[in-house]
Amino acid sequence: MLKKRNVMTIGTLAKTAGVGVETVRYYQRRGLMSEPEKPYGGIRHYDEQALARLHFIRASQWLGFSLDEIGELLTLQDGAHCDEARELGEQKLTSVRRKISRLQQVERALNELVQKCSSGHGDVYCPLMASLNDGVEDATTDKHKVR
Amino acid sequence: MLKKRNVMTIGTLAKTAGVGVETVRYYQRRGLMSEPEKPYGGIRHYDEQALARLHFIRASQWLGFSLDEIGELLTLQDGAHCDEARELGEQKLTSVRRKISRLQQVERALNELVQKCSSGHGDVYCPLMASLNDGVEDATTDKHKVR
DNA sequence: ATTGCTTCCGTAGTGAGGTACGGGTCTAAG
DNA sequence: CTTAGACCCGTACCTCACTACGGAAGCAAT
C-alpha cells in the first residue's frame, strides 16, 4: 500500500462530492472545513480527508442536522464522545418525530378537504375554501405559530 | 339584527388573530390584505372581514401553503373555482406526503444509529460517527440535494 | 397639558444555507 | 504564445416570512 494521496483541486473535490465550489468555500468560511495551505503562488489541493469531511457534512444534513449542529458533531470526531453524539442524535430523532406527526395531521386535514371537493357538491360554494375561511377544523389546539 | 360592525384598530385586529402588528402590515404589503381608507388625519379601522382574512391566511399556512400560494387561493375565493382550489390542495397533499416519507426514512436511519450507540460497543469508536463518516447507510439513491 | 401608549410609514435587518459576480491569477491545450 | 477554462478572494445577493427601527403624529387618561 502506501499509495500516493490522490490530490484534487477544489473543483474536482466539489464535483466528486456533488456540491458546488461555492458551497465548499462556504463551509470553509463556516469553519466546517479547513483551507489547505496554498503552495507558492497558487492553487490549493485537497485529499480524501477533505472528501470524507464533505460526505460527513452531507450525511449529517440528510439526517436533519443544521450546519451549526454539524460543527458541534465535528468536535466529537475522535470517538471518545460517543455519549454526547448519541445525545444529539436522540434530540434530532425527537424533533424528526415531532415533524412527522405534525405533517400527518396536516395530511389528514388536507386529504379530507380535497375529498370533500371531489365528491360533487352544491357548486355554489367550495368546501376547501369554506374550511379555510373558518379556520380548518383540526388545528388541534396549537392555533397560530405556524413557523 | 343589523348590529353595528365591530371595529378594530390594527393592534386589536392583530392581537385577536394572534399575530403581530408588523405581520398584518406585511400581509398588506404582500397584497394578501387590503388597507382600509384612513379617515381624515388618522387611524385605519378594521372589521370582521379583515379578521376572517387573517384566519384564512393562518389556516392556509398551517396546511403548508406559502404566502404566494395563499395569494393564488385568494383569487379563487368566490367558490366558482373549486376545481382549481382542489387542484392546489392535491398538489400540496402530494408534497406533504413526500415530506412525510422522506422524514420517515430519516427517522429509521437515525433511530438505528442511536440504538447502536446505546447498546454498548468497543468504546474505541462511535457507530453514529462511523456512519456519518461513510455516508450513512440508507440515503436510498437520492444522494445529495438536501434542501 | 403632559405623559405614555398606539398608529403610521418607509426602510433595513434577521437566519439558514447557500449562489452569483467580478476582477485578477494560473495552468493546460493547441 | 495565446486562449479557454479553473482557481482565488471578497463582497453582494437570494428566498421566506417576518421583525425591528425611528421619527412623526393621534388618542386616552390623569
Nearest to A77 by CA among A58, A52, A94, A96: A52
Name the band, by pLDDT with cuts 50, 70 and 90, for residue A3.
Answer: very low
Q: Does A51 touch chain B (CB under 8 A)?
A: no
Judge contact between B8 and B16, C-beta under 8 A: yes
Backbone angles phi, psi at A8, to 5 degrees: -130, 155
Q: Is the pLDDT of residue B132 over 60?
A: yes
How buried is B98 (Cβ within 10 angstroms: 0-12 exposed, 13-18 middle, 19+ buried)?
exposed
The interface predicted TM-score (ipTM) is: 0.85
Q: A21-29 and A48-62 helices cross at what angle (nearest 10)?
A: 90
- pLDDT tens digits, one per residue of A69-128: 999 999 988 777 888 999 999 999 999 999 999 999 999 999 999 998 888 766 678 889
A8 Cα distance to chain centroid: 26
> Which residues 6+ apart lie within 8 Å of A13 measured at CB?
A24, A46, A50, A51, A54
Average pLDDT, chain B: 87
Closest Cα of chain A to B90: distance in Å?
7
CA distance B19 to B23: 6
- Nearest CB among A85, A100, A111 relative to B93 is that of A111
User: Of the ranges B67-71, B73-77, B123-127, which is most confident?
Assistant: B67-71
Name the band, by pLDDT with cuts 50, 70 and 90, for residue B60.
Answer: very high
What secondary structure does DSSP assign to B63-95, as a single string?
TT--HHHHHHHHHTTTTTTHHHHHHHHHHHHHH
Kindly list the distances between the CA atom of residue B47 and the CA atoms of B1, B21, B57, B103, in Å, as whole numbers in the listed order.
Answer: 17, 15, 16, 41
Nucleotides of strand D under 7 angstroms from a protein beta carbon: 6-9, 16-21, 25-27
Note whether A100 contacts B100, CB cutoff 8 Å: yes
Judge contact between A95 and A106, C-beta under 8 A: no
CA distance A103 to A97: 10
Percentage of chain B lying above the pLDDT 90 cut: 63
Q: Which residues pair with A8 in a beta bridge?
A: A46
Average pLDDT rounded to a whole number, residues B81-104: 94
Q: Does B133 touch chain A (CB under 8 A)?
A: yes
- Nearest CB among A60, A64, A86 relative to B117 is that of A86
Backbone angles phi, psi at B38, to 5 degrees: -105, 130
Q: Is the pLDDT of residue A16 over 60?
A: yes
Helices (H) and strands (E) in chain A, counts: 6, 0
